[in-house]
Structure 1
Amino acid sequence: MSSSSKFGDRRGSMAAAVTVILLLVGGVLVAKSFAGNDAPPQPDLAQAAETTAPPAPTSPSQTTSPASKSSATEPSPSSSPDFGPIMGSSAPVSLVIPSIGVSTKGIVDLGVDKNGKLEAPSDFAKAGWYAAGPTPGEFGPAVIGAHVDSKSGPAVFYRLGSLKKGAAVSVVRKDGSTARFVVDRVARYSKADFPTSTVYGDTKGRAELRLITCGGAFDQATGHYVDNIVAFAHLTS
């Protein structure tokens, strides 16, 4: 399986599949495209520099797909330090990121197809989460993805590339609780050389969140963005 993502390709078909490690959408060319000042913002160089360290080794299952509940190994209370709160399981229903103007309800469940590709939300106005993995707030890396734009304009994660370290992210869950995260860093990765283990590997005992979309240059020939943008965050309460 490839380890890049096409989530939110501006010319992507809404029904197209997205590959699991960010391999989000892809597809049919449409008439509208953005250019110049209308291009989605990208992570600043200072944040990108933090992502150059080699990824920690992970098991094969962790390097080929988002973490699932069965593959995540919870730390032993007797042997692991306390890295913060851990919540029980409850599906996300809404996402708010005030600093970049994200407020979206009705988060949809995303699965994977027979090729190991993560399905993209069919609605450009909604985000989706990898329903076979941890819910936001549980131990491990919960994954939420959304399109960056569409033929008609910006989509949910259009400004994800401008998200800064320290920004607040809130996920309201089905049980009425709110999982509150703080952004650790935001990175841009080439889809051709995507660091799967860095994005989906061991969270070192914490409940974490990955927010993913497309970024970088737009390839007119393929109708896809060439990179992925990933925001890394950890649970605070």
Structure 2
Amino acid sequence: MRRIGNTAIASVTVVALCSGAWLLHSAGTTHAPPQPAAAEGTPDPGEERLTAPALPPSPPTRIRIPSIRVNAPLMGLALTPAGSLDVPPAGDKNLAGWYESGTTPGERGTAIVAGHVDNTQGPAVFYDLGALKKGSRIEVDRRDGGVAVFTVDAIEVYQAKDFPDDKVYGAAARPELRVITCGGGYSRATGYQGNVVVFAHLTGSR
């Protein structure tokens, strides 16, 4: 498989994740997904220094985020002709995807995982992503039988027009992970207004 840089991904990467299908089709009062507090957007320098050695490339098979009860299989995602990242099928609410032409989680560089915040039936795999806290653990099972363990550095929310491509998708000198879903407020006319992005780095493996 030919590997290409994550910076090839356009800023419209997660537009297809952000229709707000559940909120749009629900009658009466609904509860929007949690959004990260401003304090969660500032990395802890001490945590950033604790970095585990990079792992060899191996495709991921599952992601677990215990603090928000995520335990989901991962499918490979490619780019669409428009340059955006394709998305997992909306009908499976407990399915996430990873950018399979980029970095695999655990090797040096920036690995990308994306998933829906909701579908027409209700909350989906990353509905509670905005409730994560710095220091939370993310585990990624790999095809080689190992597990890459990441620690969350920051959780940020961006309006679509201000999405920082280089910050989210840019190359990294250490093993890093981005987990992306929708957020930034909701409009019944246009869906979610932006994206929640989790920034994490490798701190262990087993």
Query: For residue 3 of structure 1, what is the aligned residue in structure 2?
Result: 11
1:160 equivalenced with 2:129 (yes/no): yes
**Does the 8 Å contact 1:215/1:229 carry over to 2?**
yes
TM-score, L = length of structure 1: 0.73
Find the counterpart in structure 1 of residue 144 from structure 2.
175
With the length of structure 2 as denominator, give the TM-score of the two structures. Answer: 0.84
Q: How many residues of Structure 1 are paired with residues of Structure 2 in the alignment?
A: 187
Residue of structure 2 equivalent to 1:47: 40
The 8 Å contact of residues 140 and 202 in structure 1, kept in 2 or not, is answered as yes
Separation of aligned partners in 2, 1:34 and 1:177: 45
Decide whether the 8 Å contact of 1:8 with 1:150 is kept in 2: no
> 168, 174, 180: which one pairs with 1:212?
180
CA gap of 1:132–1:149, structure 2 versus 1, over 3 A, is same
Verify: 1:92 aligned to 2:69, yes or no: no
User: Superposition pairs for residues 4-43 of structure 1, below 5 Å?
Assistant: 4=12, 5-6=14-15, 7-11=17-21, 31-32=25-26, 35-36=29-30, 38-43=31-36
Q: Structure 1 regions of 5+ residues with no counterpart? A: 13-28, 52-80
Give the counterpart letter for 1:168 in structure 2.
Answer: R
The residue type equivalent to 1:116 in the other structure is G
1:17-62 Cα offsets, whole Å, 9 max, x none, are xxxxxxxxxxxx96237855x21000012124x38xxxxxxxxxxx
Tell me if the contact between 1:33 and 1:151 (Cα under 8 Å) persists in the aligned partners: no
Separation in structure 2 between the aligned mates of residue 149 and residue 142 of structure 1, nearest angstrom: 23
**Following the alignment from structure 2 to structure 1, what is the Cα–Cα distance between the partners of residues 27 and 150?**
33
Q: Deviations 1:173-220 (Å, cap 9, x if unpaired)?
A: 0110000000000000010111111111132x2100000000021121
More strand, by proportion: 2
Q: Which moved more, 1:3-12 or 1:143-152?
A: 3-12
SS in 2 for 1:188: strand
Give the match's secondary structure for 1:236: strand
AA aligned opposite 1:124: K
Aligned-CA RMSD value = 2.3
Question: Does the 8 Å CA contact 2:156/2:196 hold for their aligned counterparts?
Answer: yes
Q: Is 1:192 the counterpart of 2:161 in the alignment? A: yes
C-alpha distance in 2 between matches for 1:90 and 1:217: 36
Question: Which of the pair is proportionally richer in helix?
Answer: 2
Secondary structure in 2 aligned to 1:138?
coil
Measure, in 2, the Cα distance between the counterparts of 1:227 and 1:192. 8
> Matches of 1:85 and 1:2 in 2, distance apart?
30
Q: Would the aligned equivalents of 2:51 and 2:203 in 1 still touch at CA under 8 Å?
A: no
Partner deviation per Cα, 1:55-94 (whole Å, 9 max, x = no partner)? xxxxxxxxxxxxxxxxxxxxxxxxxx99531001111111
SS of the residue 1:235 aligns to: strand
* Counterpart mapping for 1:18-167 below 5 A: 31-32=25-26, 35-36=29-30, 38-48=31-41, 50=42, 84-105=52-73, 107-122=74-89, 123-167=92-136
Q: Deviations over 1:91-129 (max 9, x none)?
A: 111111000110112x11100111101111003320000
Paired residue secondary structure (1:115):
coil
